[in-house]
Chains A and B, each alone.
Chain A
């Protein structure tokens, strides 16, 4: 599950993995529900991202993603093996939207 950049953290998110300092000392344990205060503290540390519980939020709707896939393959549909590749990528994309 998703790594969230510290700048994008929001109140109410739950830590999937503990936040540690450079030496591995645990600062916030897993399962901590983030409050505004915790988020500020995390943002003050030299940490890039933390792991948050829950599904990745997909910003592009599935139909749009699949339409883009069609557009990318427009000129190579008939090239050997590209059908297979497209099928696998399509299944992969569809899998991303299953909650």
Chain B
């Protein structure tokens, strides 16, 4: 009997613990929790060049990574206070839902299903992408429509799988997908010649071609895009303050580019600028921070830490980076692109 009751007690304890885990601290307090903890838990990829990838010393870099740094600088006053949590495409949503990460900056496509049914809010788009195809040059393919009966390698757990199915069904072309769980395995199989084409977002293809291919010139990225892939960070629903913080740090970086504020000149501008917009962004005239639960230097620190949106783009994915991607749709709205931020005021 005693043995049974100890076992029962243990079972009850375990169940109570499980129930406790099933009810993580409720929303509305993300910012307080972060300030108390002193770091932001930022969900990133396990390694996508240009967006979030660790180097050999374990330092993360990329567009998504810089976004997290900027938010940490704005919120905690120190860009380094980010704890990067690498997540694969299957884990990422559960990690955000469960509260393991405070935000997910993991080149994630904004779609209706994800926005409306997973308990998330997409903050804003930090990169306008589209799905394309990487093919060996020697196959002399110029359009995805020529991929009849081809085998296409793709990573599982992405919007890419569905787009491929939709596109070829709409065009009445039979293809075969070979779906891999890991990113690494999927592109290795492609470069080994298992598939005639590899598909993912064009930014990803550029990273693969320029970083992973033995000879990048043996491969071409087809010009046709088969989907819209707006990528951006997302947060849990139910904490509007934190949602606003993440959104506005990104908007501030975009405004900074629009008004010519850079990592290099932000100090000088803060001291001398007479432009009311610049003064407002940098908190020298108005205190916009208190509306966000932050102090008045929040945007200044973000720009100082990561640079403006254009600088972040150039550093990680732009023509001079490994990915060599043109600015294209990701240029400012005033320069013919889609990047637009509501005014910081």
A joins B in a complex: no
